Structure 1
């Protein structure tokens, strides 16, 4: 199974064909248009098996699957946290696609949004993949908050869910050597903020974990696509 995650930086209708090279079974996209409300014929024809959420029809979160897979919305509670899709693949395992937002929260922005989502749905997170733009890294931890990036990673590990990147490359949180994001597409502002977490019992170590190179992808987005093969 091949999975791709990418914050496409908008206008996905003009970019979806770039991902065909990965032959992915599941694609999680942040900042994409709602196919149902798009006027782009090719994009609508491509997006035949998907779940999309968002307040702006031009910039939301989507999970797109090959037609051979059964994609079912779990409709787990979100309490209007932004943005989370929970779904089942082939009635076999769960996938959570996410795009962490500041959400106009003075306290629980970004990783705080996921921390709250985790508290609500922790008991349901069995046989689960978590894929997305977390907008978070250990380097931004604040010592007096219990919903730091480090705390969230610890809670996931207590559920038997670990980061595939860190396992594959044997790197520690906050010490990632390969960026997934370049602020303002600036090579001098690299960050690692996109992740894939997977249940240890169901998913063995990744067979492949690749992050797109800036010189190939920065024309299209400030985020690099991630490819995982399980």
Structure 2
């Protein structure tokens, strides 16, 4: 199956074709408004989290994949979902961490509350974490992305991109965000973590040339093919 996570930088009514050309089975989309999902004809196949009319977080199922809401937690931008396709069941957590505050503490808190959900079935946690180890310098314990990675490891989850590309966190060869639309301000802050029982067949990133100078988004999509 193919999963795409992408911060579309609003205006999804003009951009959903770019997503659908990637042919996802499941898509996790940040900065999307419910009216834009309706315009794209995706309301009935999606779950959305946010304030009405404002930018929010969505999970979209394509093909035979159906979505149902799971538990709710107080950390707002973590959306647990159960995905079904016949006998196949996956636990999904869509993520859009609020960058207006420290990103480490709410992520660690959310992972603690999600432990039972993660351990109950093969799980994918994916989205815009707005954080990475390159941003850890001068941060105190509990605020570092390296602390988040330790919890993912304890939960038996690992980054699809880093495993497939055999790269270390902080040494990525490609960025997911071009901050202020600037090629020289690159960060790798969008991730797909999956249970280690799920094999990664391919992990791809969109290119700067395709998405950023064209003003589609300052983020590029992360596309991961998994063997379920």
Distance in 1 (CA, whole Å) between partners of 2:129 and 2:14 is 24
CA contact (8 A) 2:124 2:192 kept: yes
Distance in 2 (CA, whole Å) between partners of 1:151 and 1:16 is 34
Q: Which position in structure 1 is the counterpart of 2:6?
A: 6
CA contact (8 A) 1:134 1:195 kept: yes
Pick the aligned partner of 1:137 from 132, 138, 141: 132
Q: Which position in structure 1 is the counterpart of 2:93?
A: 96
Distance in 2 (CA, whole Å) between partners of 1:131 and 1:20 is 18
After alignment, is 148-157 or 66-75 more displaced?
66-75
Pick the aligned partner of 1:122 from 115, 127, 130: 115
Distance in 1 (CA, whole Å) between partners of 2:222 and 2:205 is 5
Helix, strand or coil at the partner of 2:57: strand
Distance in 1 (CA, whole Å) between partners of 2:164 and 2:36 is 40
Pick the aligned partner of 1:200 from 196, 199, 209: 196
CA contact (8 A) 1:133 1:195 kept: yes
Distance in 2 (CA, whole Å) between partners of 1:93 and 1:41 is 25
More strand by share: 2
After alignment, is 139-148 or 211-220 more displaced?
139-148
CA contact (8 A) 1:111 1:135 kept: no
User: What is the CA-CA distance between 1:93 and the residue it aligns to?
Assistant: 1.6
CA contact (8 A) 2:2 2:224 kept: yes
* Coordinate RMSD, CA, aligned: 1.7
Query: Is the counterpart of residue 217 in structure 1 residue 211 in structure 2?
Result: yes
Distance in 1 (CA, whole Å) between partners of 2:162 and 2:70 is 28
Q: Which position in structure 1 is the counterpart of 2:163?
A: 167
User: What is the CA-CA distance between 1:144 and the residue it aligns to?
Assistant: 2.7
CA contact (8 A) 1:84 1:99 kept: yes
Query: Is the counterpart of residue 228 in structure 1 residue 221 in structure 2?
Result: no
| 1:155-214 CA distance string (max 9 Å, x none) | 11111100111101111111111000001110110110000000012x01x111110001
Count of matched residue pairs: 218
Q: List 4+ stretches of structure 1 deviating above 3 A.
A: 39-42
Helix, strand or coil at the partner of 1:172: coil
TM-score, scaled to structure 1:
0.89
Distance in 2 (CA, whole Å) between partners of 1:170 and 1:160 is 17
After alignment, is 181-190 or 122-131 more displaced?
122-131
Q: Which position in structure 2 is the counterpart of 1:82?
A: 76
- After superposition, the Cα gap between the structure-2 partners of 1:119 and 1:226, relative to the gap in structure 1 and judged at 3 Å, is same
User: What is the CA-CA distance between 1:121 and the residue it aligns to?
Assistant: 1.8
| 1:42-95 CA distance string (max 9 Å, x none) | 42x23331110112523100001115212111023x21x231110111161200
- After superposition, the Cα gap between the structure-2 partners of 1:20 and 1:139, relative to the gap in structure 1 and judged at 3 Å, is same
- Consecutive unaligned residues of structure 1, counting only runs of 5 or more, are none
